[in-house]
């Protein structure tokens, strides 16, 4: 599954209007026109990531007439946060939500989606900036699992946390900073689990608003696992406790 790009301001506006999933948009730095401002408004109101770049960056995509705007179509559609959560809570007594903070590697993201589909994760939330693109590499690594787990892109993961708190859904961070292991936690009820990037972990601002923390037991000099492996370990501890 190759990535698909579209060129030109009007074409991108039409793509947004037709509700095709857009992964990211690159805009020519310094452009000014009514149509350009209209595109900016649509990008912001639809929570679509975009960057301002010099003309040389745009011309790397293609020799086509880009008119100062290039968009990359996502291989995966995403869902609005609030209606997704509301729908799941209406249907399930003990839902499992996953928040991914700063997971930028497509292979890791695809592997997480594969494990999430295998155990029936109800939804995954990612920030619109600083996350792996929803491209064909993710789909391929997920072995098709990407099509079985709803994904929601949000501006801030804190918004997801606050909405879940309003519904009495506890949040658990997987972090080596925790004092207790996942095996000491009660994971039988509804829960949202949060994972961070391997190098920096969960951002401090997000970590502060989460309800609880847990870690994986480690021996010797290893202090962390690949994030997709860590996800799989926690997922199956949840399955074990619930079965």
* Predicted local distance difference test score (pLDDT) of residue 21: 85
Predicted local distance difference test score (pLDDT) of residue 100: 98
Q: What pLDDT is recorded for position 1?
A: 39
Look at residues 149, 188, 187, 192 and name the one whose alpha carbon lies nearest to residue 168: 192
User: CB count, 10 Å around CB of 220?
Assistant: 5
Q: Is the pLDDT of residue 105 over 60?
A: yes
Query: Could you tell me the pLDDT band of residue 172, with boundaries at 50, 70 and 90?
Result: very high
Res 56: pLDDT = 85
Look at residue 19 and tell me whether its pLDDT is greater than 90: no
Q: In DSSP terms, which residues pair with 154 in a beta bridge?
A: 127
Question: In the predicted model, what is the mean pLDDT of residues 184-205?
Answer: 93
Residue whose C-alpha is closest to residue 133's, from 78, 205, 80: 78
pLDDT-derived band at 112, boundaries 50, 70, 90: very high
Q: What would the pLDDT profile of 152-170 be if each residue is shown by its tens digit?
A: 999 999 999 999 999 999 9
Average pLDDT, the chain: 90
Count of residues in the chain: 243
The pLDDT value given to residue 161: 98
Cα→Cα distances 35→13, 68, 96, 180, 191, Å: 9, 11, 42, 54, 44
Q: Average the pLDDT over 181-192 and give the result.
A: 96
Give strand ranges (E) for the chain.
4-7, 22-28, 50-53, 69-73, 96-101, 123-127, 151-154, 171-174, 191-196, 212-214
Residue 62: pLDDT over 70:
no
Encode pLDDT of 20-48 as tens digits.
888 889 999 888 889 999 999 999 988 88
Strand 191-196 vs strand 171-174: parallel, antiparallel, or unpaired? parallel
Average pLDDT, integer, range 103-115: 95
Task: Tell me how far apart the alpha carbons of residues 123 and 216 are, in angstroms, rounded to a whole number.
Answer: 23
- The DSSP line for 52-64 is EE-HHHHHTT-SS
Given this model, what pLDDT does residue 129 score? 85
Domains in the chain with CATH codes: 4-73 (3.30.1330.30), 81-242 (3.40.1280.10)
Report DSSP state, residue 184.
Answer: G
**What CA–CA distances, in Å, run from 226 to 72, 132, 180?**
28, 15, 20
Q: Which position has the higher pLDDT, 190 or 177?
A: 190
Give the position of tokens 């619109």: 128
pLDDT grade for 61, boundaries at 50, 70 and 90: confident
Judge whether residue 92 has pLDDT over 70.
yes
Residue 151 has pLDDT above 60, yes or no: yes
Give percent of the chain with pLDDT exceeding 90.
61
């Amino acid at each position: 599954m190759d990535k698909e790009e579209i060129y030109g301001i009007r074409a991108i506006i039409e793509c947004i209007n037709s509700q095709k999933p857009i992964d990211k948009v690159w805009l020519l730095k310094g452009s000014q026109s009514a149509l350009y401002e209209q595109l900016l408004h649509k990008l912001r109101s639809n929570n679509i990531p975009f960057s301002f770049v010099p003309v040389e960056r745009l011309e790397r995509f293609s020799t086509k007439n880009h008119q100062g705007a290039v968009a990359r179509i996502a291989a995966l559609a995403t869902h609005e946060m609030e209606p997704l959560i509301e729908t799941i809570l209406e249907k399930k007594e003990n839902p499992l939500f996953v928040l991914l903070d700063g997971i930028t590697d497509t292979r890791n993201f695809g592997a997480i989606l594969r494990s999430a589909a295998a155990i029936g994760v109800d939804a995954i939330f990612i920030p619109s900036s600083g996350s792996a693109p929803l491209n064909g590499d993710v789909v391929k690594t997920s072995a098709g699992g990407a099509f079985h787990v709803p994904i929601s892109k949000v501006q801030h993961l804190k918004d997801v946390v606050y909405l879940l708190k309003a519904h009495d859904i506890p949040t658990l961070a997987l972090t080596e900073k925790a004092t207790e292991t996942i095996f000491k936690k009660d994971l039988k009820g509804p829960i949202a689990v949060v994972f961070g990037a391997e190098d920096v972990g969960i951002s401090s601002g997000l970590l502060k608003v989460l309800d609880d923390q847990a870690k994986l037991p480690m021996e010797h000099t290893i202090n962390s696992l690949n994030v997709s492996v860590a996800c799989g370990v926690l997922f199956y501890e949840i399955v074990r406790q619930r079965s």
